[in-house]
Amino acid sequence: MKKLLVLIGSICLAVMLVVSVMAGCAAPTPTPTPTPEKEKTLLIAGCGIGGAFYPYSTGLMTMINDFVPGYRAIAQVTGCSGENVRLIDSKKVDVAFIGGGTALQGFKAMGKFEKTHSLALLSRLAGSYGFWMTGDPNIKTLDDLKGKRIAIGDPGSGTAIRGFATLEAIGFTENDFNPIHLNEQAAADAIKDGTVDAWFCSASTTQASIVNLTTSKKTYFISQEKYIKAIADHYVETGDLAAPHVLPAGTYKGMDADYTTLITPQVICVHPDMDEELVYAITKALWEHMDLMHKIHAGCKEWKIEYNAEPMPIPMHPGAERYYKEVGTIQ
């Protein structure tokens, strides 16, 4: 009996030693890897496909994703400037490209805007120009647009606001023409198809939809020279920013003579409440990697950081202002 107890004790001791060795040889419990902080989403408002603000917004999206850590930007198709003013004010988007005149109207509750909108400048860009086009050689001046079907931009867009204001300035009412709301690419296609008689577009001198139209169909640029002062004055009365400007012949195919038009600045806006460090980082990424924007759209080659030294009625966001002071653009 004593021998049996010794044997059992030996067996138990051996088992305990084996378990102890196995436990010592087991792989250590891995330390959990910290989960990186989730990226925050930023929405960038551009415009409809075919308009310059669409590739601008995708370019800025790429810059933020590459050079602003902790954020993931997404470019949004929108109804352009007028809608973008409202989207920034309501904080439904974070950054927006807006025609400068439309931004000012929204900021001051002028023109088509019935209330003030909260906006702050991130950057002032190059200007856009007003182009009136047709495929009909008999439409030579704005007077010839009476009774015509006119593609005039997305509802509420800066293009639509400016197009209606132009015709109001020369004495037209909405009963004098048939406005058709189309984005840039759809309007260009409508001119090609003959489903509209004319098209008004507020654009740069390298607008893809205009280039595509003028290189595929004989296009005529409708003269607005007779009324240019009246149009400019009416723009200013409604809170828009505009000045007469003459583009040289050949700016677009079919522009056979110098073209008198109006120029208005383009801007990037954010909400005044947006984080100062974030706005600083976006502004820095934009201007220090501008070569990437040049590859995305030729119109960006007209952007100059010096434009931000020119005063605007809309206040500069403190984050953007800090960057421009650092690089000496503003004092």
Paired tokens of 247? 């583009």
Q: In the prediction, which pLDDT does 33 show?
A: 43
Strand ranges (E), the chain = 40-45, 71-76, 95-99, 120-134, 149-151, 178-180, 198-203, 220-221, 243-247, 259-270
Report the Cα–Cα distance between both ends of the chain, in Å, rounded.
102
Is residue 207 within 8 Å of 79, Cβ to Cβ? no
The whole-number pLDDT of residue 3 equals 41
**How high is the pLDDT of residue 144?**
98
pLDDT at position 30:
43
**pTM, whole model, 2 decimals?**
0.77
Counting Cα atoms < 13 Å in the Cβ hemisphere of 259 gives 25
- Looking at this protein, which amino acid is placed at residue 188? A
Tally of CB atoms within 10 A around 175: 7
CATH architecture of 40-326: 3-Layer(aba) Sandwich (3.40)
- Looking at residue 24, what is its pLDDT? 41
Q: How far apart are CA 133 and CA 290, in angstroms?
A: 31
Chain centroid, CA 38 distance in Å: 25
Contact in structure between 166 and 153 (CB atoms under 8 Å):
no
For the chain, list residues with pLDDT below 50: 1-36
pLDDT at 286: 96
DSSP for residue 43: E
Confidence (pLDDT) at 8: 39
> Per residue in 31-88, pLDDT tens?
444 444 678 999 999 988 777 888 999 999 999 999 999 999 999 999 889 999 999 9
User: According to the model, what pLDDT value does residue 301 have?
Assistant: 85
Residue 6 pLDDT = 38
pLDDT for the residue numbered 165: 92
- Residue 26: the pLDDT is 40
